[in-house]
Amino acid sequence: MFNRKNRTEIQQFVVTAQQMQAIETRLFDAGMPVAALMEKVAGRITQRILSKIESIPINSIGVLVGPGHNGGDALVVARELHFLGYSVIVCCPFSKRKELAESHFQYITSLGILIEENIESLQNCDVIIDGMFGFGLERPITDELAEGVNVINSWKKRVFSIDLPSGIHTDTGEVLGTAIKATYTFCLGLWKFACLQESALEYLGKVELIDFDIPLADIEEILGKTPEFRRITPEIAMADLPIPRSLTSHKYKNGNLLIVAGSHRYTGAAILAGLGARASGVGMLSIAVPNSIKPLLSTQLPEALIVGCPETEDGAILDFPSHFSLDQFDAIACGPGLTQSATSLVQMILECSQPLVLDADGLNILAQLDPISTLSQRQAATIITPHPGEFKRLFPELGEELKNRILVTKKAAQQSGSIVVLKGARVCIGTGETVWINPESTPALARGGTGDVLTGLLGGLLAAVVLNQTPLDSIVKTAVWWHAQAGIEAEKDQTQLGVDGFTLTQYLNLKPIQSRFFNESHP
């Protein structure tokens, strides 16, 4: 029996407009008629829209139609909804259409479907289907068309965008002039970059992929055997989580992590990183902090070995205690709350030969040390976790390119030879060969302290997998996805304002996060 599960991997692939066009061209060259494909795709879009509107009372549906094949899709959807008995109003504010769109336009005219040119004519519709532009948008939306889009947005109706919200750049996700604010975006065939770019987030609404059976061989031909840009799925995120443990497992097999964090001023950062590492299940945890805050850490993390360190006059770590060796650790996580006074310590850590997660002040100190050459010289893997501000300090010449977060992450990873975790609403992970993007998160995580938790979690997983030689980038995906899912779960219980760093740590080991994966992969 045909098993559709082997198509779940297409949920991972992310394409540019150019790549999508190249893939579709292969289908057409192989003999798939363009009109047949449009018919098939629009049929699936119709089904998806129906599943969202079945339970709500609908008097009429407005369909916004553009001049190209996005408009063609919309016309077929309009026709099908008409045959299903819905009252449909089509609005096409263009006098010229591509041939196939024109043909559908003529046919729906013959069916007596109401056709208007003025966008205001959709004002009384209960829902709007946006088929104005898809990946063929080539210039900003201006003048009357822009006014029309803004009017639609002002109605705050339920809007279903076909492929992309009209006005969104397919690759950067930027708004070109203005853009439709969708309630749902049904991305067609393969995920477009824009669906994972932060600049488009306020416009996308909920995003869903509509698979239309592009053969995997055609995808592979254009994207290669291991596509460069990938979306993290639950299966991918959990694949390398080091569970279940062997029945004869012991603490030394589950990683030995050293966290270097905190200062007299930022005590909490060390605690939150420690709690993040605790949730990772790491076998052995040591936390190096300034001597004066050692008692506090011991109270909060009784299982950890707290290493009290000599401190600077302003309460930062000056150095490790004498006879302290970094060699005993499987991995090091360094940075949260150190302050910039810990420069010599960070320099020493950068020179060690342990895999390293570097965050926060660790990154600010690195920024002053010729970051690219320092990172390139490291003998072990380095994972850096900058937010955009830290990123600009580390890679000033890439600062301007931050509008395309996916591409800029790739460049930074290639230049530095590190795994780059660019933080934000859609975290991008650059490994040199691949950029992974986390598709789900919550603004509840946008507050101080949640990053410290990620550093600890990442460090703990890193220490655990170094021993079993799992590729390190795989657990970076795990940590980023897991952290975001914990935020989402915490928000459900605690509201969007209730997810402080400590609360977040209490949700990391929640069963629903792991069962979500198991439910999806073992239905």
Q: According to the binding rule CB under 6 A, does residue 37 interact with ligand NAX?
A: yes
Residue ranges of alpha helices (H) inside 216-290 are 216-223, 234-239, 267-280
Three-point CA angle 131, 134, 135, nearest 5°: 170
| Dihedral pair phi/psi, residue 258, rounded to 5° | -110, 125
Cα–Cα distances in angstroms (integers) from residue 339 to residues 270, 347, 366, in the given order = 12, 14, 12
Q: According to the binding rule CB under 6 A, does residue 139 interact with ligand NAX?
A: yes
Nearest-CA neighbor of 187 among 91, 327, 48? 48
Give the footprint of K ion on residues 126-155 (CB under 5 A): 130
Cα–Cα distances in angstroms (integers) from residue 164 to residues 102, 118, 183, 208, in the given order = 21, 22, 11, 11
What tokens appear for 445 in the block? 């995580």
Q: According to the binding rule CB under 6 A, does residue 165 interact with ligand NAX?
A: no
Q: Least distance to K ion from the beta carbon of 152, Å?
A: 12
Nearest-CA neighbor of 445 among 501, 389, 505? 501
Q: According to the binding rule CB under 5 A, does residue 161 interact with K ion?
A: yes
Among 9, 22, 26, 34, binds ligand NAX (CB under 6 A): 34
Q: According to the binding rule CB under 6 A, does residue 136 interact with ligand NAX?
A: yes
**Rounded Cα gap, residues 10 and 230, in angstroms:** 9
Q: According to the binding rule CB under 6 A, does residue 135 interact with ligand NAX?
A: yes
Q: Least distance to K ion from the beta carbon of 314, Å?
A: 55
Decide whether 131 or 439 has the Cβ nearer to ligand NAX. 131
Q: According to the binding rule CB under 6 A, does residue 71 interact with ligand NAX?
A: yes
Among 14, 46, 69, 475, binds ligand NAX (CB under 6 A): 69
Residue that the structure tokens 């061209």 belong to: 25
Give me the 321-350 binding string for K ion, x by CB under 5 A, dash otherwise: ------------------------------
Q: Least distance to K ion from the beta carbon of 175, Å?
A: 13
Among 11, 16, 153, 166, binds K ion (CB under 5 A): 166
Q: According to the binding rule CB under 5 A, does residue 162 interact with K ion?
A: yes
Among 90, 108, 113, 141, binds ligand NAX (CB under 6 A): 141
Work out what residue 234 binds among K ion, ligand NAX, none; the CB cut-off runs from 5 to 8 Å by kind. none
Q: Which residue is nearest to K ion (CB)?
A: 166
Cα–Cα distances in angstroms (integers) from residue 323 to residues 178, 207, 289, 315, 353, in the given order = 62, 54, 16, 21, 17
Q: According to the binding rule CB under 6 A, does residue 73 interact with ligand NAX?
A: yes
Q: Least distance to ligand NAX from the beta carbon of 342, Å?
A: 51
Decide whether 174 or 319 has the Cβ nearer to ligand NAX. 174
Phi-psi region of 143 (alpha: psi -120 to 50; beta: other; left: phi over 0): left
Q: Measured in whole angstroms, how far is the alpha carbon of residue 483 from the centre of its chain?
A: 12
Select from 130-138, 279-287, 291-299, 486-494 the region that touches ligand NAX (CB under 6 A): 130-138
Q: Least distance to K ion from the beta carbon of 77, Å?
A: 11
In 324-452 the beta strands, taken as DSSP E runs, fall at 331-334, 356-358, 382-384, 419-422, 428-430, 435-437
Contact 186, 164 (CB under 8 A): no
Select from 30-38, 149-157, 276-284, 414-422 the region that touches ligand NAX (CB under 6 A): 30-38
Decide whether 86 or 186 has the Cβ nearer to K ion. 186
Q: According to the binding rule CB under 6 A, does residue 134 interact with ligand NAX?
A: yes
Q: Least distance to ligand NAX from the beta carbon of 148, Å?
A: 11
Task: Burial-class residue 138 by CB neighbours within 10 Å (0-12, 13-18, 19+).
Answer: exposed
Among 14, 15, 23, 38, binds ligand NAX (CB under 6 A): 38
Whether residue 244 is preceded by a cis peptide bond, meaning omega within 30 degrees of 0, is yes
**Rounded Cα gap, residues 419 and 440, in angstroms:** 20
- Using CB under 6 A, list all residues that contact ligand NAX: 24, 34, 37-38, 41, 66-71, 73, 98, 133-141, 162-163, 188
